[in-house]
Amino acid sequence: MTNMAEDLKAEAPFAGEGLAPAPEDRRRTQRDSPRERKKRTSDAVIYGVLVVLVAALMVPFIWMVSSSLKENNQVLTVPIQWIPTEFVWSNYTDIWTRIPMMGYLQNSLYLAVIITCLQVLTGSLAAYGFSKVRFPGRDVLFLAYIGTIAVPWQAYMVPQYIMMQNLGLTNSFNALILLQAFGAFGVFLMRQYYMTIPDELCEAARIDGLSEYGIWARVILPLSKPALASLALLTFVNTWNDYMGPFIYLTSNRLWTVQLGLRSFVGQFDAEYAMIMTGSVISVIPILVIFLVGQRYFIQGIATSGMKG
Amino acid sequence: MTTETLPPVAPAPAPAHSRGNRKQARRNTLIGWTFILPNFLGFLAFTLIPVTAAFALSFMEWTSFTAPRWVGLENFQRMFQSDTFWVALRNTVVYALGHVPLTMALALVLALLLNRKLKGIGFFRVAIFFPYITSLVAVAVVWNMLFSPDNGPINQFLNVIGIAETPGWTSSSDWAMPAVIITSVWRDMGYYMILYLAGLQAIPTELYEAAEVDGASPWQRFWNVTIPSLRPTTFFVVVMLTVSSFKVFDLIVVMTNGGPGRATTVLSQLIYQEGIGEGKFGYSSAISLVLFVIVLTVTVLQFKIQQRRER
């Protein structure tokens, strides 16, 4: 799996590949121009196919944005209006008073930030223990971690719920933080990365007199920035998008996350098509921003672990 | 002498002969545990114990109103006689049978299309991946409107291409499951495309060059070089997809909530309804044990098939 990550790293999306042909290529171009011309036409065909395909796949997003700028009765029209006849920007100002959107966004942000910090911190610590310190029972313990990744979460959500109920933590953020901040996934992802860091580095630091904690903080952490970024981004997005956790644990409206708030708005006002789309756009924008900033790390994280949280 | 005959377990830890070494080993254990402990405490309390408890609970009668009581296989008997259980199991299997092959095929096609050096190719990759990290509620809500039986864009499109009898999608018990499957395929294929892209880029170009020298057509190169080289990736993709299909939950809850009727009720949802909705802890744990056994069996089976192929 790590090989894949290396390969993807070499090929960062958005990099302008194919801008300048390599010298050998150019030599071949001069000698073999019909072939080059054929390649150019096939490139044009591929571009055409890709543009049509991506446009088709983006229809739901295009439709979402376009509908969010319409009046309700303009959303489901025959024929479809891809561009609103009149842009109803007021949807974007009204939604804050129609539902407590700001509160929902704050709740989502709060949960996502706390869970991400705890997951990254405890995950990278544990991963160091599992990859760089040798002690009896370590591998058995790690197997237990891996084993639970394979168990569907639905299979143990009821015992978790009973436990939280007995601790009096249902209908509180603490339940979600406790359940999601210590995931085995983060440990697994970080360990995969630490395994690629040569042990000799730690050995050298040990000889220089650094303690194990010093090695973790001053050697391993700086080296594992890409993996930390991957884990942080994946955890943040997963928490932001999580529906089932908040759905099970958060009953009072003031604790709701964006996802719950949006879902409840749809349930209450199912004919408010435009406003529903406005809410959807607002719920997706933070993810879009984070994704555009850190897309390299998302893709590496996925190729490294092949798993989502 | 006896220690010599034992197979070497791990190369690194020196045999703890001297007192210094033993002390070192004890110190290592202590240090190792301090690193693991912060995560392990949470993991133990909120994952490991609940997982173990789920097994025990499936053999108990326990509701929010009664004390736990050992009942052996009673929960399973009740479950196998329950009509709803079989409907949910059938729906889950139908969903998996639609979701797994479609997602896999489309992800592979997209990866093949996008695995070339073209200017701006990164944009296409990123665009196709984006649905996967879009929030599920937004996805479900948009697709529900796209699928709207009257005047929905999808049915309008079907009208345009000459289909007059358009399906009722999420409001029809025959078409609700296909609607859910289409949505989930759209959402997931970008993720598996990334896995396939990584797999494609790991294939050495010499293999293709050798095949070209031997006069293999593009099609032959695809069947005899690409597909066999992708086998590990395909195996991984199939396992991941199958497991995630059997776990499908939130998409269905938001999109159809199991309806109309029981047309899209799946196992995870049943666990939620019985366990958390109605407080039948024992009974719902029995259903979750079945879900776990299915997921485990499918994974192990695929492992066996993969191993046989490799030999």
pLDDT at position A256 is 92
Residue A34 has pLDDT above 80, yes or no: no
Concatenating the DSSP letter of every residue in B249-292 gives -HHHHHHTTT-STTTT--HHHHHHIIIIIS-BHHHHHHHHHHHH
User: Given CB atoms, is A284 within the 8 Å cutoff of chain B?
Assistant: yes
Residue B281 forms contact with A (CB below 8 Å):
yes
Q: Is residue A225 part of a domain?
A: yes
| Domain-ending residue, one of A77, A92, A107 | A92
Domain that holds residue A73: 20-92
Is pTM beyond 0.90? Reply is: no
Residue A208 is assigned to a structural domain of this protein: yes
Going by C-alpha positions, the residue among B277, B95, B109 that lies closest to residue A158 is B277
Query: Does residue A241 belong to any structural domain of this protein?
Result: yes
Distance of alpha carbon A231 from alpha carbon A186, whole angstroms: 7
What CATH number should be reported for the domain holding residue A149?
Answer: 1.10.3720.10
Angular region, B30: left φ>0, alpha ψ -120 to 50, beta rest: alpha
Q: pLDDT-based confidence at B97, cuts 50/70/90?
A: very high
User: What torsion, rounded to 10 degrees, do the Cα atoms A154, A159, A163, A169 define?
Assistant: 20
Question: For residue A163, what is the enclosing H or E element?
Answer: helix A157-166
Distance from C-alpha of A109 to C-alpha of A290, rounded to nearest angstrom:
13
d(CA A275, CA A67): 9
Q: Which residues pair with residue B63 across a beta bridge?
A: B280
Beta-sheet pairing, B60-61 with B69-70: antiparallel
> Does one domain contain both A112 and A65?
no
The type of residue at A113 is V
Q: Which residues contact B133 (CB under 8 A, 6 or more apart)?
A: A237, A241, A287, A291, A298
Of A2-16, A18-32, B50-64, which gets the smallest average pLDDT? A2-16
Residue where a domain stops, chosen among A63, A92, A121:
A92
A64 and A178 inside one domain:
no
Distance CA A266, CA B1 (A): 75
**Half-sphere exposure (CA, 13 Å, Cβ side) for A81?**
17
Domains and CATH numbers, chain B: 2-57 (no CATH), 82-310 (1.10.3720.10)
CB contact under 8 A, A63 and B122: no
Whether residue A12 is contained in a domain is answered as no
pLDDT above 80 for A293: yes
Residues of A in contact with B13 (CB under 8 A): 134
pLDDT at position A18, please? 36
Cβ–Cβ under 8 Å, residues A80 and A86: no
Average pLDDT over residues B123-139: 88
C-alpha–C-alpha distance, residues A60 and B145, integer Å: 10
* One domain for residues A171 and A72: no
| Alpha-carbon span B222 to B224, nearest angstrom | 6
- The verdict on ipTM greater than 0.95 is no
H helices within B115-217, ranges in order? 121-133, 136-146, 153-160, 176-201, 205-213
Please give the pLDDT value at position A234: 85
Note whether A48 and A164 are same-domain residues.
no
How many secondary structure helices (H) and strands (E) does chain B include? 16, 2
- A10 found inside a domain: no
A87 and A208 assigned to the same domain: no
Same domain, A84 and A107: no
* Contact flag A302-B10 (C-beta cutoff 8 Å): no
Residue A306 has a pLDDT of 53
pLDDT beyond 60 at B115: yes
User: Where does the pLDDT of residue B302 fall: very low under 50, low under 70, confident under 90, or very high at 90 and above?
Assistant: confident
Q: How many domains does chain A have?
A: 2
**pLDDT tens readout for residues B147-186:** 888 788 888 888 888 887 778 888 888 899 999 999 999 9
Q: Are residues A198 and A164 in the same domain?
A: yes
Q: Does A111 have pLDDT greater than 90?
A: yes
The verdict on A248 and A150 lying in the same domain is yes
DSSP calls for A7-20: HHHHT-TTS-TTSS
Closest CA to B285 of B105, B96, B62: B62
User: What band does B250 get if pLDDT is binned at 50, 70 and 90?
Assistant: confident
Whether A103 and A245 share a structural domain: yes
Task: Kindly calculate the radius of gyration of chain A based on its CA atoms and give it in whole angstroms.
Answer: 25
- A240 CB neighbours in chain B (<8 A) are 135
Mark yes or no for CB contact A181/B42 under 8 Å: yes
What is the overall mean pLDDT for chain A?
A: 81
Final residue of a domain: which of A92, A115, A143? A92
**Which of the residue ranges A67-76, A215-224, A240-249, B210-219 would you say has the lowest mean pLDDT?**
A67-76
The answer to whether residues A85 and A99 belong to one domain is no
State the DSSP H helix or E strand holding residue B70, giving kind and residue range, or none if neither.
strand B69-70
- Within 13 A of B57's CA, how many CA atoms are on the CB side? 31
Residue A216: inside a domain, yes or no? Answer: yes
Q: Tell me the residues of chain A between 163 and 182 that have a Cβ less than 8 Å away from chain B.
A: 163, 178-179, 181-182
pLDDT digits (tens, 9 = 90+) for A213-229: 898 888 888 888 888 88
Contacting B residues, span 62-101, partner chain A, CB-CB under 8 Å: none
Same domain, A101 and A47: no
- Non-local CB neighbours of B221 within 8 Å, separated by 6+ positions: B208, B211, B212
CA angle B173, B176, B177 (to 5 degrees): 110
Task: Give which of B235, B250, B269 is closest to B84, Cα–Cα.
Answer: B269
Is it the case that residue B3 has pLDDT exceeding 50?
no
Of B41, B51, B133, the CB nearest to A151: B51
